[in-house]
Amino acid sequence: MNKEFFDVVVIGAGPSGAVASTLLAKRGYKVLVIEKQYFPRFSIGESLLPQCMTFLAQAGLVDSLHQHADSLAFQYKDGAAFHKNGQDTFFDFTEKFSDGPGTTYQVKRAAFDELLADGASKAGVEVRFGHQVVEVNVEPEQPELTITDEAGNNYHVKAKFLLDASGFARVLPKFLSLEKPSVFPVRHSYFTHVEDKISAADFDRNKILITVHPKHADIWYWLIPFSDGTASIGVVGRPEQFDAQATPEVILKDFIYQAPNLARLLGEANWANPVNTLQGYSADVTGLTGKNYALLGNAGEFLDPVFSSGITIALCSSALIAPQVDKYLQGEHVDFFEHFEKPLRAGVDCFKTFVSAWYEGGFQDVIFYQKQEKNVKSMISSILAGYAWDTANPYVAQSERRFKVLVDLCQ
């Protein structure tokens, strides 16, 4: 059977796949993206962080985002608000320590992902929707893939380099036995979109609202408003904290109305859509690269949705890998661990410090501390805005040690 040849094959047309393929196509390479699903399709991870705008700009995709934001009901976002047991606080991302954009959008992922995939196509990337990778061989110098098309027919593709941007499908980790347990315990999330009908004057639609459960500090909620009067809402907790016999709809509604602030805000909401679930989502791998492949975004490591770091990490992985693949394809020796995996994981580890501290309670103490020092708050605001790779920020450069000191002060 004849093989097709490409410089780079990317598995998955989500944000990391779209950005990586666009960056490489703009360098003149022949790039193929294989996407199992058809776009638009529903996904969560809807609250972008300002750092994302830098990576989208590098790929030439940010102008399209600005141009279509209003028509696609993307909501302007300038920060994050938090609520716990009657106490409210917020971080304004324009008042941050790091250089770079301080605003972004809260996006409906179906439209956002399609927008980026269209941008990749316009940059010269060939995107094949409804095609699925069924076999991978990375042992030869050039990876070989067997792919099934919409009609169920198999065909073969050969590439000089392979990128896995398959998200939670984690195609290469499964084929190559790269998966390992996450350091985070198993958690479940229940979520949907509602017509929120929020009329409260104290609600800021320009910010994601994160609410802590009034009795269980390790259970939290997101409320992500969009500009058309709808919102994404969800709850996250350990599996034993939910009634396994109840339907997802019953579980989510029950938990929403256990939080007085959400019960007030969403008292008139129209629950018109089904409730979805995502279970055991945290994941890790033994390594992000091989001699002729790399893992991007959630295909590598996914932490937790609490600070919306997923897409930021995914886009950073794309921005880091593209110049290294460029050098590799030009025949240069590339140390992918040193120039891709190591710098990527540095930011991931920074996020990890804050996610761990959130569930342990220390970061909640910091967030709700009444006497926040302005300069320190700006440094924390930078990390919440996605600037987890800015080593000029002391809470990035020495995140674990410095953060423990900060927690002790706030406690």
Q: Do 320 and 381 reside in the same domain of the chain?
A: no
pLDDT digits (tens, 9 = 90+) for 71-82: 999 999 999 999
> Degrees (nearest 5) of the Cα angle 165, 296, 21?
60
Q: Evaluate if pTM is beyond 0.85.
A: yes
Domain boundary among 279, 307, 325: 279
**What span, in angstroms and rounded, lies between the C-alpha atoms of 248 and 266?**
18
Per-residue model confidence (pLDDT) at position 33: 98
Minimum mean pLDDT among 4-8, 266-270, 393-397: which range? 393-397
CATH code: domain of residue 162: 3.50.50.60
The H or E element that residue 323 is part of is: helix 310-329
Q: Do 384 and 400 reside in the same domain of the chain?
A: yes
Residue 386 lies in a domain: yes
Q: Do 156 and 230 reside in the same domain of the chain?
A: no
Domain boundary among 297, 315, 347: 347
Domain boundary among 235, 262, 279: 279
215 pLDDT exceeds 90? yes
Q: Do 317 and 293 reside in the same domain of the chain?
A: yes
pLDDT digits (tens, 9 = 90+) for 276-319: 998 877 778 889 999 999 999 988 878 788 888 999 999 999 99
Q: Residues 77, 207: contact at Cβ < 8 Å? A: yes
Residue 361 lies in a domain: no
Cβ neighbours of residue 204 closer than 8 Å, sequence gap 6 or more: 79, 81, 90
- Per the structure, how many domains does the chain have? 3
Residue 90 lies in a domain: no
Mean pLDDT of the chain: 94
**What span, in angstroms and rounded, lies between the C-alpha atoms of 338 and 122?**
32
Q: Do 176 and 201 reside in the same domain of the chain?
A: no
**Domain region containing 114:** 3-75+108-181+285-347
Residue 94 lies in a domain: no
Minimum mean pLDDT among 61-65, 268-272, 297-301, 352-356: which range? 297-301
Q: Do 322 and 342 reside in the same domain of the chain?
A: yes
**Residue 139 CB: number of other CB atoms within 10 A?**
10
Cβ neighbours of residue 76 closer than 8 Å, sequence gap 6 or more: 69, 103, 105, 206, 227
E strand residue ranges, 54-206: 75-77, 79-84, 87-92, 104-106, 126-129, 132-137, 144-148, 154-164, 179-180, 188-195
pLDDT digits (tens, 9 = 90+) for 311-368: 999 999 999 999 999 999 999 999 999 999 999 999 999 999 999 999 999 899 999 9
Q: Residues 11, 165: contact at Cβ < 8 Å? A: yes
Residue 81 lies in a domain: no
Q: Do 149 and 225 reside in the same domain of the chain?
A: no
Per-residue model confidence (pLDDT) at position 1: 57
Residue 311 lies in a domain: yes
Residue 360 lies in a domain: no
Which amino acid belongs to residue 227? S
Spatial strand order of the sheet with 188-195 comes to: 87-92, 79-84, 207-212, 220-225, 230-237, 188-195, 276-279
Per-residue model confidence (pLDDT) at position 148: 96
274 band by pLDDT with thresholds 50, 70 and 90? very high
Residue 155 lies in a domain: yes
Which amino acid belongs to residue 375? N
Q: Do 275 and 289 reside in the same domain of the chain?
A: no
Q: Do 134 and 169 reside in the same domain of the chain?
A: yes
**What span, in angstroms and rounded, lies between the C-alpha atoms of 144 and 208?**
43
Q: Do 237 and 197 reside in the same domain of the chain?
A: yes
Q: Do 152 and 272 reside in the same domain of the chain?
A: no
DSSP tag of 298: G
CATH code: domain of residue 247: 3.30.9.100
The token pair that represents 350 in the structure block = 């920074």
Q: Do 25 and 156 reside in the same domain of the chain?
A: yes
